Every structure is written in C-alpha cells, then in structure tokens.
Structure 1
Amino acid sequence: MAEQTILVTGSTDGIGKATARALAAQGHHVLLHGRDPEKGRRVLEELKAATGSDRLPLFIADLSVQERVRGLAEEIGGAYDRLDVLVNNAGVFMPEREVAPGGIETTFAVNFLAQVLLTHELLPLLARSAPARVVNVASIAHRSVGSVEWGNLPGFSRYEPYEAYAVSKVGVIAFTARLARALEGTGVTANSLHPGVIDTKLLRAYIHGGNEGAPPERGAEVVTYLATSPEAGKVNGGYFEETRWTQPSSLAHDPGVQERFWEIGLERTGISRW
C-alpha cells in the first residue's frame, strides 16, 4: 500500500516497538512515542539500524498526565499536515495502586482516558487525512469482567490489579464501538483488538516474571493488519481477536455500557463535545 504516516503510542517496548519496526520496514513514516527520553533515543537508533528508515521521529510524553497527552497531540499537529493511522497501543499493568493527576488511578488513566483524549485531539488531523484509521489495543482480559462497579471509577479506591486492568480494556472496546458510530461519514474508522497473549513487560508484571507469551512480533502482526490492510480499512466499530473479527463480551457489546464509558471518557478528560 502507499506510504502512510502512522503514530504508534508506547512504541519503545513490547508490541508497540515490534509494530513500529514492522511498519517502518514496510516503508511507512512511523511516529514513535515513549515516556522515557533516554530509552526512546536508544530504541530510535535500534529501529533505524534494523529498518534503514530515516523517518522515525520520536515524541516523549507521560500519558498518565492529560496535559502531556494534549501536548503530544499539539506537537504532532504542529509538525505534520497528515496522520493516516493512530495506533493507541500504550498500556500499563500496575501491581500496586498508583494515582495520576486528578485522583485518577494510573491504569485507567493510561489505558483508557489517554486513548480517549489523544484520539479526540488528533481527530481533526485524521479527518483531514481521510481515509484514516484509529486502532485501539485492548485485551482478551475484558472477558473476565461480569459487571462494572461504576462507583469505583476512576480512582479505584478498592483496588485489585487485574480487575483494574480488565475494566480499562472493557472501556477501550466499549468506547471504540461508540466512537465508530460518532465517526460515521467522516472517512475515519475506529476498531479495537486483542493482540494475543504476548511476552511483554506488562505481562511479566502480571505473572511476576517468566516467559508465558508469544513474541511481540506475533502481536505486532495483528496491530499491523488493522492499521494497514485494505480489508481492515472497510471495517468500522469492529473487534479483532484470535486472527478474526468477532464479538467482544456481552458487557462491552452492550450499548448502555458503551454510552456510559463514552460519557466517563468525555467527562474525565474535559471534552465538552465530540
């Protein structure tokens, strides 16, 4: 396919790094993102050497801080006149409860609210580049959630690490479906995916070490497919898992739950209108 300009958040490690490498090797202009400047520069040089690409700009932002998310979008919008694909890949698993600015639990802040806010802030650029895509990385973990304790969001005062992670991923899938409906007619599509059980820093934080997953390149194949394949470009509001389009859990598929997460996303990021 023609060269695309693609932002991959969380691309200095794990699936994001493998995705950035795969996309750059295909000849795309890949915008890298990380939280740590030193690590970011190290990964940048590694990816340049591996792919031969000189179109790998690096952006640094802590996505748990909404001011930094807005700053990232502003920086990208000021540097580029098009963005064909936004891959919201960055995610965390927090073994202990941590609180981001605004009293928001860090898992929820990074995995859910940062996706909402960054997508909103970059949407004008995506719309000008249409046809364009939003690809949100979720997780099969969302299937473990039978119901959402709405009163526990977004601070998770009652904290259980896996539950917080899984609920954040229900939010990603539910919000993506609701976002897709809002994007109809704009030329921008939104889909979510489970990349597989992949050996990443996030997985090791959950299982306390060990190697229980497939290599990051396997997960990158799924993300790359949704980001670039002509077939995926025809889908809006879909969820991809286990090499196919499928239905998410009944909870994430519930229109009422989708609307509730949509409202939480807008309210907690200060978005007045979409």
Structure 2
Amino acid sequence: MEQTILVTGSTDGIGKVTARALSRQGHRVLLHGRDPGKGRRVLAELEAATGSDRLDLFIADLSVQERVRDLAEEIAGAYDRLDVLINNAGVFMPEREVAPGGIETTFAVNFLAQFLLAHEFLPLLARSAPARIVNVASIAHRSVRSIDWENLPGFPDYDAYDAYAVSKVGVVAFTARLARELEGTGVTANSLHPGVIETKLLRAYTHGRDGGAPPKKGAEAEVHLALSPDAGKTSGGYFEESRWTRPSSLALDPVIQERFWEMGSSLTGAARWADPKAYAR
C-alpha cells in the first residue's frame, strides 16, 4: 500500500538514499532540504532515477522554529495524510553557532526541530494511523555521563562533540517519553542509530577525512523502521542499525526524559500537547 512519508534532510547523505529507496518502492515521498537550488536538483535527480511522479519538495531551515512551523503547515495544507515522519536531518557544528532565541544550532536542529515537528504533525499522523515517527539519534549518546543543564540550550561552554552527543541523548530520551504520550493512538515513535556512515556530518566531525559505511547502509536502517511490520509493533524503542537494543541508562532515566520533554515544550512553546486520541478517525 502506498504511504506518504516525509524525510527531513533528504537532499544529501542518508536522507537522500532513504528517499530514493522509499520512492522506488512506490511510496509518495516528501523531500526536505534547506537550499532551494540544491533541493530542485535532487528532486529532478530522484525523479529520473526512480521514474516516480510522487515526489515533492519542501524547503525550510530547521534551526529556525518559525520555519519548522511553516514546513508543517505547508505539508498539512497540501496532503490529507502523513503515514511516516522520518526526522533524519541533523548537523555537527565544529564551531559554535547560535540560532534564533539564543539556542545553539546543533541543539536547535538535532533535538528541538524533531520535538516541534512531532508536535506539529501529530494531528495529521493520528488521522493517518497506523502511523510512525522515526527519530534519528546516534550511538554518540552513550558517551554522555551527565547533563550540564546550565549549559543548555545555548552551550556557552562549547565543545562540538559534547553538544552533538547531548542533543542525541535528548532525541532518545524525548522519543521514549513521546511514545508514552502516543499510547492508544496508533502512532508509534522510535529512535535509531543508523550506523557510522560516510556523510557530510561525519566529515565535519573527522575534519574532512573519509570513513564510515556507505549511506545505503544507514538508509536500510531508516527504511526498516519506517516500513517493516516488526518495527511497527514497537514504540519507544531505540535501534542500532536495524536491531532493537537498550540505549544508555541516562537516556532511559525517567527524570532525564521528563527534563528534556519540559525543555522542548518550553523552548518551542509546545507546552500543551493536544490529546492525539481526539484526531483519530
């Protein structure tokens, strides 16, 4: 059955290969990127490669919350269903940059954009149930032993790897908390580490050195969580590649999960999540 699937960050790397794989399977794929010119080139490339006429392109800078809301509004206005939201977009910032609101860019894109997109798309996902939210995290979250809450969300004491890893703890913790919020709605939420993959993000971390598996390997993990019947039976899980596993004890801590949930709610203004059961058909 054809599904409508949004893949954020799908003009490059794992997201682009994921979008191509889903399109080749006959699904309607909504591409997302930040650069309009690059987005149009990738759209044309994927249309030629897959022969699909069910690809669409949306442009938004996910570090800017207003643009995140605009993206959700545009898609909800154009489509009457969304079966899968793949929050694939992510960044690794070698130098500290600050997004609107004084929020460090890594945290804004990797954590807050996922949080806000899940909130904004909840009505559409619930009406499309069974539906799935797939949040891309990272095995890097395991390196974090404690959270310096005073350093969030602006990271004035900035270390690039620490900011990245903390943002991914937030993703894993938030996803587990979100799954509890979604119980009984037919919408599931899971997070995954797609593998150490040769991407622009990895090159930023390694200062341009090559390494990692090809993007196809990471795309296989994302497609698995988006479509496989087995993954559809799980919610609140964390996967490394395509295997369910326990995340770090820190990410499993209910206090940490609630703290990230409260921070996401406060920073995005999504303090009240409407009852998703009200949207069910």
- The interval holding the TM-score normalised by the smaller chain is over 0.9
SS state at 2:196 partner: coil
**CA offset at residue 242 of structure 1?**
4.2
**Residue 103 of structure 1 aligns with which residue?**
102
2:68–2:113 contact (8 Å) kept in structure 1 = yes
SS state at 2:55 partner: coil
**Residue 227 of structure 1 aligns with which residue?**
226
SS state at 1:219 partner: helix
2:93–2:106 contact (8 Å) kept in structure 1 = yes
CA distance in 2, matches of 1:50, 1:149: 46
SS state at 1:251 partner: helix
**Residue 25 of structure 1 aligns with which residue?**
24
Residues 68-115 of structure 1: per-residue CA shift (max 9 Å, x gap): 000000000000000000000000000000000000000000000000
CA distance in 2, matches of 1:117, 1:181: 17
**Mapping for residues 13-162 of structure 1, pairs under 5 Å:** 13-162=12-161
SS state at 1:213 partner: coil
Which amino acid in structure 1 is aligned with residue 204 of structure 2? A
Which amino acid in structure 1 is aligned with residue 243 of structure 2? R
**Residue 217 of structure 2 aligns with which residue?**
218
**Residue 204 of structure 1 aligns with which residue?**
203
TM-score with structure 1 length normalisation? 0.99
SS state at 1:222 partner: helix
CA distance in 2, matches of 1:145, 1:182: 25
Residues 209-239 of structure 1: per-residue CA shift (max 9 Å, x gap): 1221000010000000000011100001000
CA distance in 2, matches of 1:124, 1:171: 23
CA distance in 1, matches of 2:67, 2:165: 24
CA distance in 1, matches of 2:271, 2:214: 41
CA distance in 2, matches of 1:50, 1:233: 28
Which amino acid in structure 2 is aligned with residue 203 of structure 1? L
SS state at 1:57 partner: strand
Aligned-residue RMSD, C-alpha: 0.6
Structure 1 residue ranges, 4+ long, deviating more than 6 angstroms after superposition: none
Q: Mark the runs of 5 or more structure 2 residues left unpaired by the alignment.
A: 274-281
Percent identical residues: 81
Which amino acid in structure 1 is aligned with residue 245 of structure 2? T
Which amino acid in structure 1 is aligned with residue 19 of structure 2? A
Residues 6-48 of structure 1: per-residue CA shift (max 9 Å, x gap): 0000000001001000000110000000000000001111111
**Residue 162 of structure 2 aligns with which residue?**
163
Which amino acid in structure 1 is aligned with residue 145 of structure 2? G
Q: Report the count of equivalent residues.
A: 273
TM-score with structure 2 length normalisation? 0.96
**CA offset at residue 272 of structure 1?**
2.4
